[in-house]
Amino acid sequence: MMLFAPALIVAFLVSVFTIKVLLPLAPQIGLVDLPNERKNHDGAIPLIGGISIYTGVLIASTLFIEQSQLLNLYFISSALLVFIGTMDDIYDLSVAPRMIFQGLVAAIMVFGAGIYISDFGNLLLLGDVFIGNYGMIFTLLACITAINAFNMIDGIDGLAGSMSIISILSIAILTMMSNTDRDILLPLILVVATIPYLFYNVSTRNPRGKKIFMGDAGSMFLGLTVIWLLAISTQNHDGSGAAFRPVTALWVIAIPLMDMFAIMLRRIRKGVSPFQADNGHLHHICMRLGLSSRQALWAISSLSISFALVGIAGEYFAISESIMLVTFVLLFIAYSFALQYAWKFICTPKG
């Protein structure tokens, strides 16, 4: 771990430096989030967290990780998402250009890097479920899903960053538990590069009172990163063996995944676009129940950690993949039901 120290220090310092450079520039180029009917923060908040995270990861990885086509394609894909995310943060783009860029990034991952999920493991107790080249189509959809899941969970201070750290740290822990030779430096760099953003976003000890948001650039970048790491870690593309089973990936990203699908189903049932923003996410419900933004963050993060620990424990104790899948599906159904009907209980007038 000591060998990782220089890389982690560079990632941290570059991320901090990027924030300090962009803070005075963001208002000049319109890279700020303004309050509206759904956003009740005070004043114009710079949307620079994602750029700072990406820059920290890029510089540290370039200096301390052996360069490869796979790593280069990851950073090219990430740069495209950070670019379109930044444009969206400035100009509030429609769904179409965002989806086009997300599809392009997914195609680079599948067809350029050759990373796709084709082996789902022994989910049905009849041997491994292998779908071959159809895994390319599945991974294209999974990549777009993950990008939007982390983008949609970004609704209160620190939530998207915390969900990303929990998922990426879980991947690092699962990788260390495996008998593979896979490197965990990139996940650790990602976690450390995210810490400065969290400090400026949620810490009450921020000495200058400078607050920043992650922006779509950051949430989409982290969503891509999580699915990229999961696709690599659950498959045996390079002959070094999978670090953990595919079903475990569901538990690693449980909250963003469940929240996205549950809220989209709710919107479809209401007859509106599944991409139409509203106040029906889990964090909104927590706050309507009386929790503060910070309390909601702790509650949801604790739930996410609990799900991740279940996945890690299932991997460690080699619990049947079918049991892990059925349990996850049952929890998702319960989650969707709770999200669907929670408003009726919250909004019912007293007396």
pLDDT in tens, 214-248: 999 999 999 999 999 999 999 987 777 899 999 99
Q: What are phi and psi of 31, to 5 degrees?
A: -90, 65
DSSP symbol at 130: B
pLDDT of the residue at 349: 41
* Residue closest to 14 by CA, chosen among 73, 61, 70, 47: 61
DSSP string, 231-252: HHHHS-SSSS--SS-HHHHHHH
CB-based contact 265:278 (threshold 8 Å): no
* Residue closest to 255 by CA, chosen among 142, 139, 164: 164
pLDDT in tens, 37-79: 555 556 789 999 999 999 999 999 999 999 999 999 999 999 9
- What value, to the nearest 5°, has the Cα angle with vertex 297 and ends 279 and 303? 100
Q: How many domains does the chain have?
A: 1
CB-based contact 145:260 (threshold 8 Å): yes
CB-based contact 187:169 (threshold 8 Å): yes
Tens digits of pLDDT across the chain (351 residues) = 556 899 999 999 999 999 999 999 999 999 998 875 555 556 789 999 999 999 999 999 999 999 999 999 999 999 999 999 999 999 999 889 999 999 999 999 999 999 999 999 999 888 889 999 999 999 999 999 999 999 989 888 999 999 999 999 999 999 999 977 788 999 999 999 999 999 999 987 765 668 999 999 999 999 999 999 999 999 987 777 899 999 999 999 999 999 988 888 877 887 777 777 777 788 888 888 888 999 999 999 999 999 999 999 999 999 999 999 999 999 999 988 887 776 665 654 443
The two structure tokens encoding residue 254? 């449980």
| Residue 154, domain extent | 2-347
* Residue closest to 131 by CA, chosen among 146, 116, 141: 116
CB-based contact 193:10 (threshold 8 Å): no
d(CA 214, CA 154): 8
CB-based contact 111:235 (threshold 8 Å): no
CB-based contact 151:227 (threshold 8 Å): no
d(CA 162, CA 165): 5
Half-sphere exposure at residue 240, Cβ-oriented, CA atoms within 13 angstroms: 13
pLDDT of the residue at 36: 59
* Residue closest to 57 by CA, chosen among 302, 225, 236, 217: 225
- What value, to the nearest 5°, has the Cα angle with vertex 50 and ends 226 and 38? 100
